[in-house]
Amino acid sequence: MQQQIQRVAIQGYEGSFHQEAARILFGEHIGILACARFQEVVKAAGDKNVCDAAVMAIENSIAGSILPNYSLLRNSELQISGEIYLQIRQNLLVNPGVSLKDIHEVHSHPMAILQCLDYLNQHDWKLVETEDTALSAKHIHQRKSKHIAGIASALASRLFDLEMIAPDIQTMQNNYTRFLVLQRKDTVQPVKEANKASVTFHTDHSRGSLARVLTLIAGGGINLSKLQSYPIPGSDWKYSFHADMEFDSLDQFHEVVEIIKSATSELKIYGVYRKGESVS
């Protein structure tokens, strides 16, 4: 029987987008283990005495792939058991009663500030870069700031009793982050109606070797939704490839895996799961 998920490791602080993704996936009452770094997330997820799973960002529709996280995944024994695409909606948060004319400074993570510059440039506010969006919101609440606003998630506003004085201030509305669900091998059960898988492989690096693998994948009727290269440590400019494959049936996927094994030097399956939904 598959283990019930009770505690999930995430990167960031309470009120972060990682926590928002975890709550959508596992429910609002899920226990959260907040980790400062992604390395700590992966380590925690691998220890059955610490947590049951992890939720880890892997790519963003604007900023692209988080390459170090592919290496963390490769070097771990964790499996991908699910995913979700969460729309990143940034909001201007203040303590109750604070109006726009009261604001002198806006605090948030540099990326969040950058995502909202079109809105922020309409005001004569000092922009202060901080460690984390949710932590900025927490500090504004704790210090009862009357002249400081923060940029953070709607979840942060609820957790810290802040008002969304200006919702959805991000410049790019179509901004999504893809989060993976990671679990230990001994807790992952076959996913019903799985239609997506993540694998890593490398070839012998001879001329046309990658093209041969891709041709075999396409010939098997599988959609390659992502192909990400990253260097093999200690090699002379040789690369491994992370591939996300979408398919109609598990038999189809396994047949293609068997076919491409002969064209690859190494192949590892990270996980077989359901393609994630986009959540606004």
* Three-class DSSP category at 48: coil
d(CA 82, CA 59): 14
The per-residue b/e assignment along 162-193, b for 16 or more CB within 10 angstroms, e otherwise, is bbbbbeebbeeeebbbbbbbbbbeeebeebee
For the chain, what is the mean pLDDT? Answer: 94
Under the banding of pLDDT at 50, 70 and 90, the label for residue 3 is low
pLDDT tens string 218-246: 999 999 999 999 888 888 888 899 999 99
Residues paired with 242 in a beta bridge = 200, 228
Least confident of 80-84, 188-192, 226-230: 188-192
7-88+175-185 against 91-166: fold identical? yes
CATH topology of domain 91-166: D-Maltodextrin-Binding Protein; domain 2 (3.40.190)
Which comes out higher in pLDDT, residue 7 or 189?
Answer: 7
Task: Please count the other Cβ atoms lying within 10 Å of the Cβ belonging to residue 49.
Answer: 5
Spatial contact of 7 and 52, defined as CB atoms under 8 Å apart: yes
User: Considering only CA atoms, which of 83, 102, 224, 230 is closest in space to residue 165?
Assistant: 102
What percentage of the chain exceeds 90 in pLDDT?
Answer: 90
Q: Please give the class, per CATH, of domain 196-275.
A: alpha beta
User: Considering only CA atoms, which of 66, 64, 56 is closest in space to residue 9?
Assistant: 56
Residues paired with 109 in a beta bridge = none
Residue 2 has pLDDT above 80, yes or no: no
What is the enclosing helix (H) or strand (E) of 75? helix 67-75
User: Considering only CA atoms, which of 6, 20, 13, 14 is closest in space to residue 179?
Assistant: 20
CATH topology of domain 7-88+175-185: D-Maltodextrin-Binding Protein; domain 2 (3.40.190)
User: Considering only CA atoms, which of 19, 10, 25, 176 is closest in space to residue 88?
Assistant: 176
Average pLDDT of the segment spanning 171-199: 94
Domain parsing of the chain, residue ranges: 7-88+175-185, 91-166, 196-275
Average pLDDT of the segment spanning 204-226: 94
Spatial contact of 59 and 69, defined as CB atoms under 8 Å apart: no
Average pLDDT of the segment spanning 172-200: 94
Name the H helices within 122-278: 133-142, 154-159, 209-219, 250-261
Predicted pLDDT of residue 214: 96
* Three-class DSSP category at 186: helix
DSSP class of 41? H
What percentage of the chain exceeds 70 in pLDDT?
Answer: 99
pTM of the prediction? Answer: 0.92
d(CA 8, CA 23): 10
Name the H helices within 76-179: 110-115, 117-120, 133-142, 154-159
pLDDT tens string 84-138: 999 999 999 999 999 999 999 999 999 999 999 999 999 999 999 999 999 999 9
d(CA 261, CA 53): 30
d(CA 195, CA 225): 12
